[in-house]
């Protein structure tokens, strides 16, 4: 297949505006073949949705390829020779399919529903109030460092059962693990990722021992009981805890930052939200649509599939560009406009199909509480400097957000 333009998601230009590149991709007749990762990138909403909901399009190649082929692919993609990572990060419910995936997902599903996360509301409010009270009035500070970064560790920690004093450590572990998923894999990143998994593993083993002796009202205590009943098998409990941290930590930091950035870039929207707080739920959905923090996931085709008349054989790997789908003008009128009253807003920031984000209710709860508090507490919120995005394809977030509040 010809490569009509050079796609470089590590470039500064891409970080500054990936949406211009995605618009180009969506405009092409055939889905874009990306030779670097031997992958077909899907950018139109209908294409992404079709593949995401198709059970024959899987996350894991287990059962599709022989063990030797799997090992060879692991080597090629840089995921071999990292024993802890292979056991606890590469093997989890996000990377299983079919009945195995359903079994693991069902075990923790209840904890993630709107009702399941409701008890966290009071804690999130307290964390938000404490963090915002540290913001210096009238002086410049980095909103990412002071507010966005510490919040998810506290919330996920409380949810899982990790004591507050240990929450700051979660950030480093999750950053080190997640950064090895992006396209620019270096030996340093690999070593850091493996070390972080080992350290978090050791921490969780210790926490498990403590909670077994004295259970609490938290997810890890629930999972320990499920493990004792034989519902979680070897390594699955630890792998599930790691997935929750990896999936939920950096993504929440990033969307808090980009959400505020979007509002500050659209003062009328910010004023609208200040004046009418009932807009908050649709405003939060729009923040997720406009700048999804996890823009890119993959699926492997276990059977041939046709997209808009283009045939792809079994064995094709698809890249699902959820963020490109979210700007598809065929689904979202005036798709590049940030419209906090957008309805309907069936964005794909949380994916679609069997792997739909388990943490979506928790993520939205965090955002609602935080943005409500920001609007109530500060009558002025202004940029105090330039905002730059981190480079990369798998995540989208700000390096810094210099802010002044009054």
117 binds ligand HEM (CB under 6 A): no
How near is the Cβ of 336 to ligand HEM at its closest, in Å? 19
351 binds ligand HEM (CB under 6 A): yes
Q: Which 363-382 residues touch ligand HEM, going by CB under 6 A?
A: 363
Report d(CA 313, CA 292) in Å as an integer.
Answer: 30
Gap between the terminal Cα atoms of the chain: 55
User: How many residues of this chain interact with ligand HEM, rule: CB under 6 A?
Assistant: 26
The span of 63-71, 166-174, 249-257, 378-386 binding ligand HEM (CB under 6 A) equals 249-257
Q: Which of 43, 251, 316, 394 binds ligand HEM (CB under 6 A)?
A: 251
How near is the Cβ of 343 to ligand HEM at its closest, in Å? 19
Q: Which is nearer to ligand HEM, 339 or 366 (CB)?
A: 366
Report d(CA 129, CA 220) in Å as an integer.
Answer: 26
Question: 32 with 44: CB under 8 angstroms?
Answer: no
Question: 293 with 260: CB under 8 angstroms?
Answer: no
Q: Which residue minimizes CB distance to ligand HEM? A: 359
Report d(CA 354, CA 54) in Å as an integer.
Answer: 9
324 binds ligand HEM (CB under 6 A): no
355 binds ligand HEM (CB under 6 A): yes
SS3 of residue 128 by DSSP:
helix
Question: 263 with 403: CB under 8 angstroms?
Answer: no
Question: 319 with 48: CB under 8 angstroms?
Answer: no
How near is the Cβ of 253 to ligand HEM at its closest, in Å? 8
359 binds ligand HEM (CB under 6 A): yes
Report d(CA 291, CA 308) in Å as an integer.
Answer: 27
Q: Which 171-230 residues touch ligand HEM, going by CB under 6 A?
A: none
Q: Which of 248, 391, 392, 397 binds ligand HEM (CB under 6 A)?
A: 248
Binding mask 257-296 for ligand HEM (x = CB under 6 A): -----------------------------------xxx--
Q: Which is nearer to ligand HEM, 104 or 381 (CB)?
A: 104
Q: In this structure, what token pair is assigned to residue 233?
A: 């098998």
SS3 of residue 58 by DSSP:
strand
Q: Which is nearer to ligand HEM, 224 or 294 (CB)?
A: 294
Q: Which is nearer to ligand HEM, 351 or 391 (CB)?
A: 351
150 binds ligand HEM (CB under 6 A): no
How near is the Cβ of 326 to ligand HEM at its closest, in Å? 11
**Interhelix angle 267-275/236-265, nearest 10 degrees:** 100
Q: Which of 61, 147, 244, 369 binds ligand HEM (CB under 6 A)?
A: 244
- Our measurement of the distance from residue 405's CA atom to the centroid of its chain's CA atoms, rounded to an integer in Å, reads 28
What's the CA angle centered on 356, arms 354 and 69, to 5 degrees?
55
Q: Which of 93, 241, 305, 393 binds ligand HEM (CB under 6 A)?
A: 93
The span of 179-187, 188-196, 209-217, 349-357 binding ligand HEM (CB under 6 A) equals 349-357
Q: Which of 137, 172, 135, 132 is nearest to 151 (CA)?
A: 132
357 binds ligand HEM (CB under 6 A): yes
39-42/317-321 β-pairing: parallel
Q: Which of 7, 200, 290, 350 binds ligand HEM (CB under 6 A)?
A: 350
How many other C-beta atoms lie within 10 A of the C-beta of residue 202? 11
How near is the Cβ of 68 to ligand HEM at its closest, in Å? 26
Q: Which is nearer to ligand HEM, 106 or 399 (CB)?
A: 106
Q: Which of 92, 125, 116, 211 is nearest to 162 (CA)?
A: 211
Q: Which is nearer to ligand HEM, 144 or 156 (CB)?
A: 156
CA neighbours closer than 13 Å in the CB half-sphere of residue 239? 21
- Give 330's contacts (C-beta < 8 A, 6+ positions apart): 44, 45, 46
Q: Which is nearer to ligand HEM, 249 or 404 (CB)?
A: 249
Question: 304 with 313: CB under 8 angstroms?
Answer: yes
Interface with ligand HEM by CB under 6 A: which residues?
59, 93-94, 105, 156, 243-244, 247-248, 251-252, 255, 292-294, 297, 322, 349-351, 355, 357-359, 362-363
């Amino acid at each position: 297949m010809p490569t009509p333009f050079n796609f470089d998601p590590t470039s500064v230009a891409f970080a500054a505006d990936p949406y211009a590149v995605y618009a180009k991709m969506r405009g092409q007749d055939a889905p874009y073949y990306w030779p670097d990762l031997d992958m077909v990138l899907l950018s139109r909403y209908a294409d992404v949705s079709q593949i995401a909901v198709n059970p024959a399009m899987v996350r894991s190649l287990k059962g599709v390829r022989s063990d030797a082929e799997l090992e060879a692919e692991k080597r090629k993609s840089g995921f071999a020779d990292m024993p802890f990572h292979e056991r606890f990060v590469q093997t989890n419910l996000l990377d299983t399919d079919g009945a195995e995936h359903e079994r693991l997902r069902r075990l923790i599903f209840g904890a993630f529903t709107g009702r399941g996360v409701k008890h966290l509301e009071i804690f999130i409010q307290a964390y938000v109030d404490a963090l915002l009270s540290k913001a210096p009035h009238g002086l410049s500070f980095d909103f990412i460092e002071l507010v966005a970064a510490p919040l998810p560790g506290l919330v996920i920690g409380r949810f899982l059962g990790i004591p507050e004093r240990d929450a700051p450590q979660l950030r480093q572990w999750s950053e080190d693990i997640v950064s090895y998923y992006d396209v620019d894999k270096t030996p340093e990143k690999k070593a850091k990722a493996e070390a972080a998994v080992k350290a978090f593993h050791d921490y969780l083993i210790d926490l498990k021992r403590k909670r077994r002796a004295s259970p609490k009202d938290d997810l890890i205590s629930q999972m320990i009981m499920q493990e004792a009943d034989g519902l979680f098998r070897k390594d699955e409990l630890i792998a599930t805890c790691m997935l929750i941290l990896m999936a939920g930590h950096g993504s929440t930091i990033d969307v808090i930052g980009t959400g505020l950035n979007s509002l500050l870039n659209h003062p009328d929207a910010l004023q609208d939200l200040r004046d009418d707080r009932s807009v908050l739920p649709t405003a939060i959905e729009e923040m997720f649509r406009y700048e999804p923090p996890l823009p890119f996931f993959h699926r492997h085709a276990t059977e041939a599939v046709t997209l808009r008349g283009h045939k792809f054989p079994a064995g094709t790997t698809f890249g699902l560009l959820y963020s490109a789908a979210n700007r598809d003008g065929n689904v979202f009128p005036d798709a590049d406009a940030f419209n906090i009253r957008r309805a309907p807003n069936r964005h794909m920031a949380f994916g679609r199909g069997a792997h739909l984000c388990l943490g979506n209710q928790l993520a939205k709860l965090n955002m609602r509480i935080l943005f409500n508090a920001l609007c109530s507490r500060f009558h002025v919120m202004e940029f105090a400097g330039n905002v730059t995005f981190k480079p990369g394809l798998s995540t989208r977030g700000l390096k810094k957000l210099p802010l002044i509040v009054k």
